[in-house]
Amino acid sequence: VTYCLAMRLDAGLIFLSDTRTNAGVDNVGTYRKLHVLHAGDDRTFVLQSAGSLATTHEVLSRIDRDLTDPGARQSLATVQHLFEAALYLGRLNKEVYAEHAPTVGLGAAATFILGGQIRHERPNILLVYPEGNYIRVSDTVPFLQIGETKYGKFLLELAVRAHVDLETAAKIALGSMLSTAHANLAVGPPYDAGLYRNGTFEVRELRIEEDNAYLRQLNEVWIDQLLDSISHLPPIPADLVEEFS
C-alpha cells in the first residue's frame, strides 16, 4: 500500500508521502513516491504516486524523455496551465497502462497527485486517475489523498476546520501519516515531505527517518492530548441509560 497526501493552504502547498512498497509481506522495500520535477524557472511540480511502481517509473521516464527531446509534442515545460500538466500526465499514465494491462491486468494501474504552480496561476493540487482524467482541491476540501486514505482523513478534515497555517498543517500532515502507518503496516517510514511557498518556484524537500526525535515527540504529545480529551467528554445523561450514569 501507500499513503500520500497533499494540502493547499493560503501560503503554500504541503506534500507528504511514505516510502514503503510491498509485493507480499516477505518482499517489503523502500521507494521514493514523492518527486520534485524541474521543468523551467517559471514553474514547479511535485508528483506523488500510488499503485503500480512499474507504471509510475515508466511514467517518470517518459516525463524526463519529453523534457529533453526537442521533438516532443508536449512536456511539463510546454504546458501553459496546471490542469494541462494533469491531462498530459493522465495521457502518459493511460499509455503506459494500456501497454502493460494485457499482461499485468488491473495491477498495472497507478494514481498520481500533481501539485505546483505555473507562472502567476494560483498554486493547485490535482489527482490524476488511471483513466487519465483528474479532480482538483477546492477551498472547502483543500486536500487530496491517494493509497490508504481512510485512517488519516479525520486529521486533515480537522485542519480544514481549524483554518490552520502552513506550519500547523505540516504537523497535522505528519499526524495523519503516523495514524495511517500505525494502522497499516504496509505504510511506513522514512517519509518524504515537500513544502512549497507560493511564488517561490522552489520546493523544500526533506526526508524524515523513522528514528527522528521530532516525529517521536509529535506522536507522544498527540496521544497524550487525545487521552486528555477523553477525560473531558461529557457524562452520559441518566435518561439515556440509567445504569451507566
Residue 185 Cβ, how far from a copy of itself at the closest point, in Å? 14
- Cβ-based nearer residue to a copy of itself, 32 or 91: 32
- Cβ-based nearer residue to a copy of itself, 89 or 155: 155
- Upper half-sphere CA count for residue 23 (Cβ side, 13 Å): 6
Residue 230 Cβ, how far from a copy of itself at the closest point, in Å? 6
Amino acid at 110: A
| Under 8 Å between Cβ of 50 and 146 | yes
- Cβ-based nearer residue to a copy of itself, 89 or 193: 193
CA gap 127, 47 in Å, rounded: 10
Amino acid at 193: A
CA gap 133, 74 in Å, rounded: 17
Shortest CA distance to 34 belongs to which of 180, 146, 198?
146
On the question of a cis peptide bond just before residue 190, with omega within 30 degrees of 0, the verdict is yes
Q: Which residues bind a copy of itself (CB under 8 A)?
A: 150-151, 153-154, 157-159, 161-162, 164, 166-168, 170-172, 175, 179, 182-183, 193, 195, 197, 204, 206, 208, 212, 214, 217-218, 221-223, 225-230, 232-237, 240-241, 243-245
- Cβ-based nearer residue to a copy of itself, 85 or 169: 169
* Distance, C-alpha 149 to centroid of its chain: 10
| Under 8 Å between Cβ of 10 and 168 | no
Number of neighbours of residue 171 by Cβ within 10 angstroms: 16
- Cβ-based nearer residue to a copy of itself, 56 or 184: 184
CA gap 234, 240 in Å, rounded: 13
Amino acid at 48: Q
- Cβ-based nearer residue to a copy of itself, 133 or 217: 217
Residue 59 Cβ, how far from a copy of itself at the closest point, in Å? 28
Residue 141 Cβ, how far from a copy of itself at the closest point, in Å? 13
Residue 129 Cβ, how far from a copy of itself at the closest point, in Å? 21
Residue 227 Cβ, how far from a copy of itself at the closest point, in Å? 5
